[in-house]
A and B are shown apart, each in its own frame.
Chain A
């Protein structure tokens, strides 16, 4: 399941910052040693595979072949150094960043404008327009990849980063609008009246009042759009033919198949490609988890 899928049914009410800590008083049961044992097993299962690959990057292919599970002896920095000093990794990283940033800007920018119109203007057919966007959510991006390839071919966007960024932004619009619209609707009408009395136009109200008030929801949709684009594999695979245009997921898969004999380098490249995502997660954790909490909190319990 993709990040986009991540927030389907959001919230009628302006959601739900991650649940307040005070509520946790319900945890009144003492935790048994068994719980800690189970927790330890869970952590081992999720983290050991990642650590194994990171540590494996410090070994040589010969070491890996002789004893696949051993520790580095001696530790070699060569694999990481070679990748960090070659152009490929940085190119992949740069391409992923460029595309993800443009996708996020487009999705959040255009999505918030559309949400404003759909939330606070009254015009015939408004719900039908909203539904048109919302239905896009039932159309998984991977399924659409081949049709999008045909379109890009027609409009000469093959092997062009715009041919990836524009469709990804378009596919992020449904979730963006579904999350933002209820948020913008819930802002009290009195605020808008007051702004109008003070001589503000509706666009000023949008830019100066509504957007700052919607900030938590905007951050959530921005993170969703960014992560979805950052992790996308299939569309870049179809659109890009020049290796210097590859994004990081495409780069990892290509590196693995090209240098499969040089196992140690594949370990190092894979480890390096995980790090940006994990660093980003640690930084944006509250936002990601908050978005999911809003999603779960939106349903009637």
Chain B
């Protein structure tokens, strides 16, 4: 936190220099009526601050406290167990495999979704008939809720259903299996559905990034005799770096909180083969009425997500962004 603040303060000065006139205009008012500004600030900032403190900050504090009790949700918190619940969660092999599943999804996203998104974005960035329709088609799955997507794919993946018949029709019948009941492949089925839903998000993001690259650069390279592949490889992709790094950040946060799709399609099963950290928390904390245990799990998830997001923010994104958290203020 202190590091964050330090970085903020450092970035504060150039920002102030950008808008000197605005600060001049403010000061006389404040000097004339010191009480007025305080009242205005309370009116403006107060409501958001209260809402944020009560519904974002307070819950995690409550969870950290509940996590220290053995508690089923009824009666007083009397059975104090200290860090016992926290230890149990961290030692539970099911929790560890759930965390591993989240990491597998994150890594696969990077290795598979990212290259596909880049390829589609490069394709869509060309002039072609029906380009705007194509963009909308690619983006459509992203706007449908994950819950609806889950039910949609439950229907498609029914035994001998659409997917199975399609595979048989194109001669890939050997691949057909119990997509959601086979413990060794269920996680990958989930990943394919996640990819179907989220690829459009990456494409739109990368397309926007591509449009920020000056056309002259590519044209100059082409005039100098660079092939299309060379310009893409040496000019477009490096300039797309910042957008790619933001995509990775968003994808990472998304991978850590996968829930809806898995819960509706498999409840994390069979035999926890598709469980994620959040399905673990809901299954063992909420449904089993082990609220103290669930609270401990929530706090651990919070710490894991926060630390990963913060580190990435600090060490990877920092150099790219104007408005990054670690530099605050634009």
Q: Are B24 and A189 touching (Cβ within 8 A)?
A: yes
Q: Residue B328 contacts which of A11, A131, A144, A233 (CB distance < 8 angstroms)?
A: A131
Collect the chain A residues with CB atoms within 8 Å of residue B271's CB.
none
Q: Are A170 and B306 touching (Cβ within 8 A)?
A: no
A–B Cβ pairs within 8 angstroms, 21 of them: A1-B250, A11-B322, A11-B330, A46-B138, A49-B162, A130-B8, A136-B56, A138-B325, A142-B259, A145-B278, A149-B286, A150-B66, A170-B51, A170-B55, A188-B19, A188-B22, A203-B40, A273-B148, A296-B243, A297-B209, A301-B209
Q: Mark B301-330, 1 if CB is under 8 A from A, else 0.
A: 110011001100100010011111100111
Segment at the interface with A among B85-93, B149-157, B170-178, B180-188: B149-157
Q: Residue A298 contacts which of B59, B133, B321 (CB distance < 8 angstroms)?
A: B321
Q: Does A127 contact B (CB under 8 A)?
A: yes
Q: Does B264 contact A (CB under 8 A)?
A: yes
Q: Does A101 contact B (CB under 8 A)?
A: no
Min CB–CB distance A125 → chain B (angstroms) = 10
Q: Does A156 contact B (CB under 8 A)?
A: no
Q: Which of B26-65 contact A (CB under 8 A)?
A: 26-27, 29-30, 37, 40-41, 43-45, 47-49, 51-52, 54-56, 58-60, 62-63
Min CB–CB distance A169 → chain B (angstroms) = 6
Min CB–CB distance B59 → chain A (angstroms) = 3
The 3 lowest CB-CB distance pairs between A and B, nearest first, are A1-B254, A12-B330, A26-B215
Interface residues of A (CB under 8 A from B): 1-2, 5-6, 8-13, 18-19, 23-29, 31, 35-36, 38-39, 42-43, 45-47, 49-50, 52-53, 56, 68-69, 106, 110-111, 113-114, 116-118, 120-123, 127-151, 153-154, 166-167, 169-171, 173, 177-178, 181-182, 185-186, 188-190, 192-193, 196, 202-203, 227, 230-234, 238, 248-250, 252-253, 256, 263, 266-267, 270, 273-274, 277-278, 280-282, 285, 288-289, 292-293, 295-301
Q: Residue B29 contacts which of A150, A173, A196 (CB distance < 8 angstroms)?
A: A196
Collect the chain A residues with CB atoms within 8 Å of residue B23's CB.
122, 189
**Given A131-B8, A146-B294, A278-B144, CB of A300 within 8 Å of CB of B56:** no
**Given A133-B52, A146-B294, A166-B55, CB of A281 within 8 Å of CB of B243:** no
Q: Interface on chain B toward A: helix, strand, loop, or mixed SS? A: helix
Q: Residue A193 contacts which of B21, B48, B154, B218 (CB distance < 8 angstroms)?
A: B21
Interface residues of B (CB under 8 A from A): 4-5, 8-9, 12, 15, 19-27, 29-30, 37, 40-41, 43-45, 47-49, 51-52, 54-56, 58-60, 62-63, 66, 73, 120, 123, 125-130, 133-141, 143-148, 150-156, 158, 160-162, 165-166, 196, 198-201, 204-206, 208-209, 211-216, 218-219, 222, 228, 239, 242-243, 245-246, 249-251, 253-257, 259-260, 263-264, 277-278, 281-282, 285-286, 291, 294-295, 297-298, 301-302, 305-306, 309-310, 313, 317, 320-325, 328-330
